[in-house]
A = this chain, B = another copy of it.
Amino acid sequence: MDIAWDDLRTILMLVRHGSLAGAAEALNINYTTVARRVRRAEEALDQLLFERLPDGYRPTEAAHLIAENAERMENAEHDMLRRLQGTSTELSGSLKITAPHVLIANFLSPVIDEFSKAHPRIDLRILATTELLDLTRLEADLAIRISRNPGDTLTGVRLLKQDTASFANREVAERIRVDPTAMIDWLVYESHPNLPKAISPEFPNNRARLQFDDVVAMIGAAQAGLGVMRLPMFLGRASTGLVQVPVLPPQPYADIWVVGHPDVWPSQKLRALRAILTKHCKAQSHRFVA
């Protein structure tokens, strides 16, 4: 009759991931435990919840019904955790922030350094990823994002305006200077394989030579002289061996925002982090514009 709530959560994860191993990883427990909890739940409810197939556990109708409601429970849990974080005045405990890895590597390290020294009791975790983590699920407490619109359900503050321009290594830059009409090789993003539209008419011959899915790899290729690439100013300037070339005149790019869920936003920990962050951004804003 009575069913343990942790078992409901386990069933939810098993329905979501389809295998004991997947659910176990999500719950950070051993998959054997998942199997045992499922069996216990089946006994408690006197109902088969999963068909055991060679390629995984297939949920029955009853399991789907449970998962649906366990999801509501999960939402309530997330709401609770966010509000708890939001009303917390303690400068201790964990704090997760996420930002694109290039921003962390080339710009945010001093902020992280200063914050962790100022608040040693806060266990700060950095999630360097370009994925948009779900702040509602508290996958991160705060996100620093390069975006034209920071999301309507989130609270946000614009930290920096930034420009992009074209960059290449010295050798390539010199070749272009000597003969602006020669063919210019571009390194482009797989997701935006077209050449920039605003290329200056002084450089009439351009072609996309290589496509990349990763900006760090792309910078490496540019440093090796494989071609010209479009980069945010701060990144081009921070990449040794690259110099700005006049092929693509500087132009505005997506701004840099710090965003968070409104429930979490008022937390003292986040206030403290934002204070250091905005101070640093103001002091360094010149690095981002032409």
Enumerate chain A interface residues (CB-CB to B < 8 A). 1-6, 8-9, 28, 45-47, 61-62, 65-66, 68-70, 72-73, 76-77, 79-81, 83-84, 87-88, 90, 92-94
A5 touches B9 (CB 8 A): yes
Tell which of B5, B62, B68 touches A8, judged by Cβ atoms closer than 8 Å.
B5
Residues of B within 8 Å of A92, CB to CB, are 46
A46-B90, A77-B8 known; A84-B72 Cβ under 8 A: no
A46-B92, A73-B76 known; A6-B5 Cβ under 8 A: yes
**A1, A45, A73, A94 — which one has the most chain B CB atoms within 10 A of its CB?**
A73
CB distance from A264 to the nearest CB of B (A): 13
CB distance from A201 to the nearest CB of B (A): 56
B47 touches A65 (CB 8 A): no
B3 touches A6 (CB 8 A): no
Residues of B within 8 Å of A5, CB to CB, are 5-6, 8-9, 73, 77
Name 29 interchain pairs, CB-CB below 8 A, sorted by A. Answer: A1-B94, A2-B28, A5-B5, A5-B6, A5-B8, A5-B73, A5-B77, A46-B93, A46-B94, A47-B90, A47-B93, A62-B84, A65-B83, A65-B84, A66-B80, A68-B80, A69-B76, A69-B77, A69-B80, A69-B83, A70-B76, A72-B72, A72-B73, A72-B76, A72-B79, A73-B73, A73-B76, A73-B77, A76-B76
CB distance from A33 to the nearest CB of B (A): 13
Residues of B within 8 Å of A94, CB to CB, are 1, 46
Kindly report which residue of chain B lies nearest to residue A73, judged by CB atoms.
Answer: B73
B65 touches A80 (CB 8 A): yes
Give bound CA distance, A69 to B80, whole Å.
Answer: 6
Residues of B within 8 Å of A83, CB to CB, are 65, 69
Ordered nearest first, which 7 A-B pairs have the shortest CB separation?
A5-B5, A69-B80, A46-B93, A72-B76, A73-B73, A69-B76, A73-B76
